[in-house]
Amino acid sequence: MQTTIKGLRFWCCTLAGSAGLALLPITTAVAAEDTRVNGFYENATYGREGVGLSKFRNTLQLEGEKKLGDVGIFSNVSVNGTLRGTYDGVYDLNKDEYGRTAGGSILLEDTAPAPNPAEFVPHGGGIVPTPNFGFDINQNPNDGMIVLGENLHSQDGGVGFGVPVRPCDVDDRGCIDDYLDKDLNELRFQEFNDRADFIRELYVDFDLNFDSGNVLSTRLGKQQVIWGRTDLFRVLDVINPVDFSRNNIYDELEDIRIPMWILRSDYRMGPTEVFDGFAFDDLNFQVVWNFDQFRPHDIGQCGQPNVILDAGCFFRGMNNLWENGGTVANFANGSIATDFGPGQIGIREAHMPSWSLSNTQLGLKLEGVYGDLGFSLNALTYRSQLPSLRGGIPAENAFTGDTAVWPSLIAFDIHFPRVNLVGGSVDYYSQGIDTVFRVETAYTSGEEFANTLREKLYSESDVVRYVVGADKNIFIPALNEYQAFLFSGQIFGQHILDHEREQRLLGEAGIPDWEQNWIATLLIKGFYMNGRLSPQIITAHDVRAQATAVAPSIEWLVNDNFKLTAGANFKVGDGARKFDDCRSCNPWDPFTAVYPGQPAGESAGLSGYEPLGRFQSGPIGMAQKEDEIQLTARYSF
């Protein structure tokens, strides 16, 4: 009851706080004929049930363009820039959840059978495999932590351990160097970091005209390069990484792509005859060279409101186990809370690719138009923007103290493997039914997946992804006699071609991701008051995870400068799912065998919610307890 009242109190503050800040005066700017300067101030205030304030983000963005005209042999020269700075006050206003005082002491489950079942023990209260190889509670105190996954599920007989959640300058436990190590100011002022993200875009455009009439158009600088035709889930649009910590998967990609330093050149051939009697209405060849230092997706650091798949919490907790040791619930014999020492299990480090020519990314695209049909053919070689956990690192045996590479030990380094992609897209406008159809597909090689059947606990697989979508305007006279509603639907599919999974004594083992899965989305958007009032609802349903997100909102353009958007985001479904957690992988044979004669390094399939169930739950299922109401106010100038 107390939790519900707390949530309602913050929800009321959400509505009051955002509306008040939106009325702050902003000075507008006037653009000269060859110079354009505009921007906006925005406040986004979100309230999350059971948590309270989950976002109080204030954004100031400035966009400018300077047209220089002809410069030497180049024409249409212009310089463009976008500056963005944000301050998210949630880390100050709700610091017990997300700031300096977040987290606390924890209890970990111990389901050992009689005669003396403990049920729960404090962090530091588990059994130690041998007295000499435990951890120092003073080095890893029972404070400032949550239990991994506690916001979504109970421990329920599975693996659990403590995860520090305070900013890394307050508590550096589990902060992985150069990857997930944000301090308080980097959380509050996200763009002001070592990568100078406040310079959101800065590029120069210029054309080189040929006597044939063809044009070489080039954009050089910090930018977003958009491939593909999909919304919400990306298939071809993988050149720029994405900041999922901003609002999980629900913000517009335009706002959450992370711009990179890129050279993009388009050789525009216009109408082109390929052979007698067949000509394209337009044909274009594009080269993209991302020469920036590698950057992965921002998946969210544990202690932030948005941590996609809760993966950042798993990483931070595992790094803390490696660096400092810790207690793991229900581990020994699959039921006894166990204390591990440093360097025995966990995540050792992240291998962030340094800058080199071989670590840059290169893409090619051929696109054209033929009548009502548009198409593209795409190829890209790049580094995976999602992390891969590779086992097979040296670690200490908790029973003997020997250091070696142990089969199927849950000890990892993080890598970002090289991935090659080929694919294409088609869009077609059917005049007869006034509908746009969209198809996009990609085939990748080199991606890596967790796999408890392999000694290094990962394997590589080719993957096919695709999306099929349609957009249509439909009149619904009962709701609006004058303007049509936009209906936009799409089905996103993923197929892991080298999927491995098999039944073992205690359950399934292998790759936790679904071999085949589909996510369906539907947008319905209406328009009233000459387009100034626009209600909409977006739904997304994960077929295999049986998880659904529903996001209704209404946008009101008060005048040409001021816009209010009120919305919500609700999730329903099965929630957390279980999978083989490798407690029964027997790395330190015979001490960790769960049945007589179990081969070393071979999982028996004992399962729990953590850590691999998240891949079956998906991003929607892992966010089941993150229902929010949202109010955004924007003043443009």
* Helix, strand or coil, per DSSP, at residue 5: helix
pLDDT of residue 22: 37
Phi, psi of 9 (to 5 degrees): -60, -45
- Residue 455 inside a domain? The answer is yes
**DSSP designation for 359:** G
pLDDT of residue 131: 74
Start-to-end CA distance of the chain, whole Å, equals 44
How long, in residues, is the chain?
A: 637
pLDDT of residue 273: 84
- Residue 100 inside a domain? The answer is no
- Residue 508 inside a domain? The answer is yes
- Residue 331 inside a domain? The answer is no
Helix (H) or strand (E) holding 185: helix 184-188
d(CA 252, CA 540): 15
d(CA 603, CA 607): 10
d(CA 72, CA 60): 36
Return the structure tokens found at 569.
Answer: 């985001």
d(CA 100, CA 98): 7
Bond before 590 cis per omega within 30 degrees: yes
Return the structure tokens found at 313.
Answer: 């919490």
Could you say which of 55, 88, 121 is where a domain stops? 88
d(CA 318, CA 161): 9
d(CA 350, CA 387): 9
pLDDT of residue 32: 54
d(CA 266, CA 207): 9
The amino acid at 166? R
| Helix, strand, coil shares, percent, the chain, to 5 | 10, 45, 45
Helices then strands, counting H and E runs in the chain, come out as 7, 35
Q: Give me the residues paired with residue 109 across strands.
A: 120
- Residue 617 inside a domain? The answer is yes
- Residue 112 inside a domain? The answer is no
> Among the residues of 486-624, which ranges form H helices?
614-621
d(CA 297, CA 312): 11
* Helix, strand or coil, per DSSP, at residue 234: coil
pLDDT one-digit tens code per residue, 445-489: 999 999 999 999 999 999 999 999 999 999 999 999 889 999 999
**Mean pLDDT (the chain, rounded):** 92
d(CA 105, CA 141): 9
pLDDT one-digit tens code per residue, 294-336: 999 999 999 999 999 999 999 999 999 999 999 999 999 889 9
Contacts 24+ apart (CB under 8 A), 42-45: 42/632, 42/633, 42/634, 42/635, 43/17, 43/18, 43/632, 43/633, 44/18, 44/630, 44/631, 44/632, 45/14, 45/17, 45/18, 45/21, 45/630, 45/631, 45/632
The answer to whether 444 and 419 are in contact (CB under 8 A) is yes
CB atoms closer than 10 angstroms to residue 173: 23
Is the pTM for the entire model greater than 0.75? Answer: yes
Bond before 387 cis per omega within 30 degrees: no
The answer to whether 160 and 109 are in contact (CB under 8 A) is yes
d(CA 257, CA 419): 19
- Residue 551 inside a domain? The answer is yes
**DSSP designation for 312:** H
Phi, psi of 410 (to 5 degrees): -80, 65
- Residue 493 inside a domain? The answer is yes
Return the structure tokens found at 397.
Answer: 């045996």
Transcribe 69-97 into DSSP letters.
EEETTEEEEEEEEEEEEEEETHHHHTHHH
Tell me how far CA of residue 69 lies from CA of 31, 203, 220, 376, 427, in angstroms.
17, 15, 16, 30, 34
Could you say which of 37, 56, 88 is where a domain stops? 88
d(CA 310, CA 37): 39
pLDDT of residue 115: 63
Strands 282-290 and 326-332: unpaired
Helix (H) or strand (E) holding 20: helix 2-22
The answer to whether 410 and 457 are in contact (CB under 8 A) is yes
d(CA 86, CA 61): 9
Burial of 235 (C-beta count, 10 Å sphere; 0-12/13-18/19+):
buried
Domain span at residue 20 reads 1-70+79-88
Could you say which of 35, 60, 88 is where a domain stops? 88
* Helix, strand or coil, per DSSP, at residue 136: coil
Q: Which residues of the chain have pLDDT under 50?
A: 1-31
d(CA 392, CA 248): 32
| Measured CA angle at 403 (ends 413, 134), to 5 deg | 90
> Based on the structure, what is the number of domains in the chain?
2
Burial of 211 (C-beta count, 10 Å sphere; 0-12/13-18/19+):
exposed
Helix (H) or strand (E) holding 98: helix 95-98
The answer to whether 156 and 148 are in contact (CB under 8 A) is no
Helix (H) or strand (E) holding 374: strand 373-383
